[in-house]
Amino acid sequence: MEKSKSKKRRILVSAILTGALAMTGCAGAGSAVSQAPGETGQVAKKTKLTMWAWDDSFNVKAAKLAKDYYEKEHPDVEIEVVSRERNEIVGKLDYGLAAQAYENLPDIVLVEDYEIQEFFLKYEDEFAELSDVLDYSEFMDYKTSLVSREGRCYGIPFDSGAAVMFYRLDLIEKAGYKEEDMEDLTWERFIEIGKAVREKTGAYLLTVEPKDLGIIRIMLQSAGKWYVGPNGTDVDIEGNQVLKDAICIYKKLLDEGVACTALGWDEFVSAFQSGKVASVVSGCWIASTIQESEEQAGCWRVARIPKMGSCPESVNASNIGGSSWYLLKNKGNVEEAKEFMAGTFGENKEFLNELVGEINLVSTRKDAGSLPNYQTPNEYFGNEVILRTFAKVAEEVPGVNYGLNTYDAEEQLSSELQSIINGSDVDEALHRVQIKVVSIIGDAAGHPLKISQIS
């Protein structure tokens, strides 16, 4: 639709110019083409900015709202929002920057927090530094550290990935439980409730994805642990007791029939939208996708995630996902892109408040809790003030260093996970994963090797 309108505008402008030039030929050299009030002899030209993002109900929707908001006040700017899968964005960005094929790249791109440090390492001169347009002291410290490298800030912090548990109260009640029974759970208690829900309603309590170990990531960060140590380079898989406990919980979820598997995003979403599962343990950003099922309005509630009862360090707070916006310095429109992003996602509280209402955004600004829509009850979730819960969780998330290779580590772990589920020794499996991931990450200075380079 937007492309069609643009084409019509170009045809109209062309026709006007042709007519104006013809008039110039009749009137003599003193006449000029005027395209904008107060401008003589100049053709007004729009600046076009392109944005890439994924998830139509959250990130892409936010980008389109920013486009509409900004274009109303800036008719000289045209913004195109392109929706792609996250993996496609990563691949195209990596390839395009390596080839310096800027004509095939956007001006603004959304990158997940797990992945940006590797881009900084490989393409340190490709991202625009933004300290001149943003006051980073106004953002949560953990988020600022994720968009920074060597003391310089490059990203516009977007959403918090605060992890929470969404659950179907109607199905929980059929199994004999109440809202208070879902508060401050351990994973062990979660499994007990899940068995009852499965028996009484036929629904699973959780969905897990064998190729995307989000649940394990949530458990790890709830205890302040990751696949690498605090320096982000030392592989911490073999001998990592928290990881071992998380894998054992993952296995028990499947063994006890509490969880079902989903292959990919579409199956994951279908599972809770169809009523196949009674809860979703994920980032707060999934709320907008849950709300797409209008027939389930009023059935859902929100609580904190379960913690790991076997791990004293684990808390009922964690993070999964979260992303930030980045501007490509060598694309050519970086100053215009800075103005647009600072005027919307960066510092515009009116616009951020709109996003809170439209997509349940949990902003990583320190003052976000004062936005009016944070205080608004959500009818879909039983009139709970869910954003207040999200914000409290975000403040309590244990900080970890994600390092450079989260998904490479998970690829190796997921390949061993099925053998663990089938009964293989966990310690031996983690030993094999450790060796493979060390090969991928490379030396301690942070020069990662690709999986294809491993013999």
User: Three-state secondary structure along the chain?
Assistant: CHHHHHHHHHHHHHHHHHHHHHHHHHHCCCCCCCCCCCCCCCCCCCEEEEEEECCCCCHHHHHHHHHHHHHHHCCCEEEEEEECCHHHHHHHHHHHHHHCCHHHCCCEEEEECCCHHHHHHHCCCCECCCCCCCCHHHECHHHHHHCEECCEECEEECECCEEEEEEEHHHHHHCCCCHHHHCCCEHHHHHHHHHHHHHHHCCECEEEECCECHHHHHHHHHCCCCCECCCCCCECCCCCHHHHHHHHHHHHHHHCCCEEECCCHHHHHHHHHCCCECEEEEEHHHHHHHCCCHHHCCCEEEEECCECCCCCCCCCCCECCCEEEEEECCCCCHHHHHHHHHHHHHCCHHHHHHHHHHHCCCECECCHHHCHHHHCCEHHHCCECHHHHHHHHHHHCCCCCCCCCHHHHHHHHHHHHHHHHCCCCHHHHHHHHHHHHHHHHCECCCECCCHHHCC
Question: Quick one: pLDDT at residue 42?
Answer: 56
Lowest-confidence region among 2-16, 167-181, 218-232:
2-16
Residue 342: what are its φ and ψ, rounded to 5°?
-65, -35
| Mean pLDDT along residues 233-262 | 96
**Rounded CA gap, 275 and 233, in Å?**
41
Determine the distance from the C-alpha atom of residue 104 to the mean position of all C-alpha atoms in its chain, rounded to a whole number. 23
Question: Quick one: pLDDT at residue 16?
Answer: 34
Please determine, for residue 112, whether its predicted confidence score (pLDDT) is greater than 80. Answer: yes
C-beta of residue 73 within 8 angstroms of C-beta of residue 103: no
Q: Which tens digit of pLDDT belongs to each residue from 195-234?
A: 999 999 999 999 999 888 999 999 999 999 999 998 888 9
User: Do the domains spanning 49-160+322-370 and 163-320+398-453 agree at the CATH topology level?
Assistant: yes
* C-alpha distances in Å from residue 319, one per residue of 64, 165, 209, 386: 26, 12, 17, 16
Query: At 225, which amino acid appears?
Result: K
11: CB partners within 8 A, 6+ apart? none
Question: Quick one: pLDDT at residue 102?
Answer: 97
| Mean pLDDT along residues 32-37 | 36
Per the listing, tokens 């919980």 go with: 249
**Rounded CA gap, 305 and 190, in Å?**
10
C-beta of residue 219 within 8 angstroms of C-beta of residue 308: yes
Question: Quick one: pLDDT at residue 186?
Answer: 98
Which position has the higher pLDDT, 432 or 233?
432
**Rounded CA gap, 327 and 81, in Å?**
14
**Rounded CA gap, 332 and 323, in Å?**
23
pTM for the model stands at 0.79
Q: Which two tokens stand for residue 182?
A: 């879902």
* C-alpha distances in Å from residue 379, one per residue of 83, 144, 179, 352, 382: 29, 33, 16, 21, 5
Please determine, for residue 347, whether its predicted confidence score (pLDDT) is greater than 60. Answer: yes
Query: How far apart, in Å, do the first and last CA atoms of the chain sit?
Result: 49
C-beta of residue 362 within 8 angstroms of C-beta of residue 382: no
280 forms beta bridges with 166
214: CB partners within 8 A, 6+ apart? 282, 320, 321
Angle at 45 between CA 41 and CA 48, to 5 degrees: 170
Q: Which two tokens stand for residue 290?
A: 């849950």
**Sorting pLDDT into bands at 50, 70 and 90, what band is 5?**
very low
C-beta of residue 128 within 8 angstroms of C-beta of residue 329: yes
C-beta of residue 197 within 8 angstroms of C-beta of residue 179: no
Q: Which tens digit of pLDDT belongs to each residue from 128-169?
A: 999 999 999 999 888 998 899 888 999 999 999 999 999 999
| Mean pLDDT along residues 423-435 | 95
49-160+322-370: CATH topology is: D-Maltodextrin-Binding Protein; domain 2 (3.40.190)
Torsion of CA 8, 11, 12, 14, to 10 degrees: 160
Please determine, for residue 36, whether its predicted confidence score (pLDDT) is greater than 90. Answer: no
User: Would the CA dihedral through 268, 309, 403, 435 be positive or negative?
Assistant: negative
Instruction: Share the mean pLDDT of the chain.
Output: 87
Cα–Cα nearest to 166, from 342, 372, 378: 378
CATH code of domain 163-320+398-453: 3.40.190.10
Q: What is the largest CA-CA distance in the chain?
A: 90
**Rounded CA gap, 147 and 324, in Å?**
7
Per the listing, tokens 């001169």 go with: 125
| Mean pLDDT along residues 288-307 | 96
**Sorting pLDDT into bands at 50, 70 and 90, what band is 261?**
very high
Segments making up each domain of the chain, as ranges? 1-45, 49-160+322-370, 163-320+398-453
